[in-house]
Structure 1
Amino acid sequence: MSKTTLAAIAAVSAGAGAAITATMYSLRSSDRKGDLESKTISTTTTTVSNSPTASAPIPIPANQIFKPPAPATGLSTSAPATLGPAPVDPSGLFEYGFPGPVADVATRHALISSFDRRLRNPHWVVEHITPASLAQRDGDRKHSVFLEDEAVPENFRAKLKDYFRSGYDRGHQVPAADAKWSQRAMDETFYLTNMCPQVGEGFNRDYWAHFEDFCRRLTVRYPSVRIVTGPLYLPKKDPVDNKWYVRYEVIGNPPNVAVPTHFYKVIFAEDGTVGGNVAIGAFVLPNAKIPNEKPITDFEVPVEAVERASGLEFATKLPMQRRKRLCADTTCALVIREYAERQKAFAKPAGKQ
């Protein structure tokens, strides 16, 4: 197999049926927990002052400590071989507070999410589905309502009014249909920390819903399926100056919530054995109308493409010999169902959110 491959992410225009392909990255190819109490944690990166007069050091995770850089090469021969005590102490600023960024990580019954305060959307949302979880039907969507997540400070929170008359759906990242095993679990999928603005007709209520159904149907073949879902903000080439720009809408008054250009899903389909194989599939879909007849394989990309676009890592601890490509291990195809008509039954009375 060739050691290098080009990952092409397909983008669909706002006009149904029109397609644009944007070549994004040059990549290396490869074949490459029980019932939890609901809680939210904020994680930050901090550092420790090197000043001998500094106050007690701030504890930080070992993996967030950056080692001093190696001695630079190519310095002037007249430069001293070693440096004395540093005349500056940048970390002294942290006595007044650490600026961030902060990720609000929420652990709920059917999902774990990491919230991006700047864009008011999740970085990622993780879920786990099994044949048993999908077989239980103790939750009913008609009893659930959309909720602002009060665990996020109000200044950084996505709010219901941000979506009002925005022209976008409050699009679940972990779908409510994946949490029917418990009413509480389903209710928790309606927090806005599990939502992004999504194009409704032709995407959230159509193609994206069929894609979510595809993920559920994977449990027919695989006893355990784990999925990471989240937004992307990808560049597009300007036809005038041929330069690449990242451009996205922001909704709300004042503008608060970014409208993603694309969404990704990284799927881990496990064979159910200890140390067994994991079939991985990565997909990037544009936040736009997509014709139902378009194959889902048109949106398949290498996992590395999602990593490079999102700044996240997805399988660093999974050995290469245990990895399979999902669409080579099973058939990747959508079953088209009329979700839009079905969802009309869940509409709330006028004036309710």
Structure 2
Amino acid sequence: MKLLLSFCSSLLLSASLFSAPTQCDGLYFGNEAPDILNAKLLPKTQELCYSSFAVMHSGVSRTPLWSAEHLTKERLRHKSKRTNDFHPEERLKGDERAELSDYARSGYDRGHLAPAADMGSKKSQHECFTLANMVPQNSENNRGIWSAIESATRYLTNQKGELYIITGPIFSGSQIKRIGGRVLVPTKLYKAIYDPSSGQGAAYIVTNAASDEYEVLSIARLEQISGLNLFPKMSSSAKENTMDLPDPQERRGGSYNNTTNKDIIYLIEKLLKRMF
């Protein structure tokens, strides 16, 4: 009996050690950030609060572990010009943050987790271009299927009124790549969505490669893969179910009416490469 009580106490202690209390009000469902269940993800983590999103940053990967948004239909009514002013995060220690030089000539995009097209003010536009909100992302993935998933999420927000969103990378396998010798390259990316009006949720997940393929998973399945309790106040039964999500491929037909500068920039870069 004493052994059992000791074991249970250890489990409770571990859970509290790996939890992520938030100082970023209003951005998480129930105002609770994801719990870190995988101890390997815990070292050198630091929460960063911004005006329209929050980040849990890892000084090990030098990327976010996730970004969080409370996206609303009202917020999406406000438009702000994309700034493209990528910058390192000065609040992070120099040896724990990504630098612009890490991405230079790396072959990877600086891929947003909280996307610029979600930002409705000059301040939030500037904030979202911090490298603390970026992961090294395959360029075709970033400007193709991932851009379509971001657009589909905005479409769903306009349909539902509001959504809570957790976006993050997954690092799996024994041969994780680095850029700049420092910044880890994710093997997969996901966007987890919770609809407070129905209590349901689901997630898109893609491989970080030149592909248009994607999957839709239950929140429970994604939590197993990610090592995170993504929505601590979401019921276990709801996590097991998979909410219907819009097909991001439909965005290519323009049905989401959400054109951004990302595709235009990509085409210009391809043209310049051919010219020089």
Q: Is the 8 A contact 2:102 2:182 kept in 1?
A: yes
From the superposition, tell whether residues 308 and 343 of structure 1 become closer, same or farther in structure 2 (CA, over 3 Å). same
Q: Is the 8 A contact 2:203 2:216 kept in 1?
A: yes
Structure 1 residue 140 corresponds to structure 2 residue 81: yes
Q: Is the 8 A contact 1:223 1:270 kept in 2?
A: no
Number of the residue aligned with 1:82: none
- Which of 42, 48, 63 is the aligned partner of 2:16? 63
Local SS of the residue matching 1:165: coil
Number of the residue aligned with 2:168: 230
- Which of 153, 157, 180 is the aligned partner of 1:219? 157
One-letter amino acid of the counterpart of residue 343, structure 1: I
> Over alpha carbons, which structure has the higher Rg?
1
Scaled by the length of structure 1, the TM-score of the pair is 0.59
CA deviations 1:210-246 (Å, max 9, x no partner) are 11000000023201111101110123xxxxxxxxxx3
Q: Is the 8 A contact 1:125 1:229 kept in 2?
A: yes
Structure 1 residue 318 corresponds to structure 2 residue 273: no
| Deviation of 1:318 (Å) | 2.1
| Deviation of 1:247 (Å) | 1.7
CA deviations 1:86-131 (Å, max 9, x no partner) are xxxxxxxxxxxxxx82311111011100111111111111012111
From the superposition, tell whether residues 331 and 104 of structure 1 become closer, same or farther in structure 2 (CA, over 3 Å). closer
Number of the residue aligned with 1:279: 200
From the superposition, tell whether residues 322 and 256 of structure 1 become closer, same or farther in structure 2 (CA, over 3 Å). closer
Q: Is the 8 A contact 1:127 1:174 kept in 2?
A: yes
Number of the residue aligned with 1:184: 123
| Deviation of 1:345 (Å) | 8.9
State the alpha-carbon separation in 1 of the partners of residues 165 and 246 from structure 2. Answer: 17
Number of the residue aligned with 1:128: 70
Structure 1 residue 288 corresponds to structure 2 residue 212: no
- Which of 35, 44, 48 is the aligned partner of 1:102? 44
Equivalent residue runs for 1:235-274 within 5 Å: 235=173, 246-252=174-180, 255-271=181-197
Scaled by the length of structure 2, the TM-score of the pair is 0.74
| Deviation of 1:144 (Å) | 4.0
CA deviations 1:137-171 (Å, max 9, x no partner) are 2x211x34001001010011100000000000000
Q: Is the 8 A contact 1:268 1:279 kept in 2?
A: yes
From the superposition, tell whether residues 344 and 233 of structure 1 become closer, same or farther in structure 2 (CA, over 3 Å). closer
State the alpha-carbon separation in 2 of the partners of residues 160 and 231 from structure 1. Answer: 19
Local SS of the residue matching 2:160: coil
Local SS of the residue matching 2:107: coil
State the alpha-carbon separation in 1 of the partners of residues 220 and 237 from structure 2. Answer: 17
From the superposition, tell whether residues 341 and 215 of structure 1 become closer, same or farther in structure 2 (CA, over 3 Å). closer
Q: Point out where structure 2 has 5 or more consecutive residues left out of the alignment.
A: 1-12, 19-41
Greater Cα offset, 308-317 or 185-194: 308-317
Q: Point out where structure 1 has 5 or more consecutive residues left out of the alignment.
A: 1-59, 66-99, 236-245, 272-276
RMSD: 2.7
Q: Is the 8 A contact 1:234 1:309 kept in 2?
A: no
From the superposition, tell whether residues 188 and 322 of structure 1 become closer, same or farther in structure 2 (CA, over 3 Å). same
**Structure with more helix by fraction:** 2
| Deviation of 1:332 (Å) | 3.7
State the alpha-carbon separation in 2 of the partners of residues 279 and 314 from structure 1. Answer: 13
| Deviation of 1:279 (Å) | 2.4
Local SS of the residue matching 2:229: coil
Q: Is the 8 A contact 1:218 1:269 kept in 2?
A: no
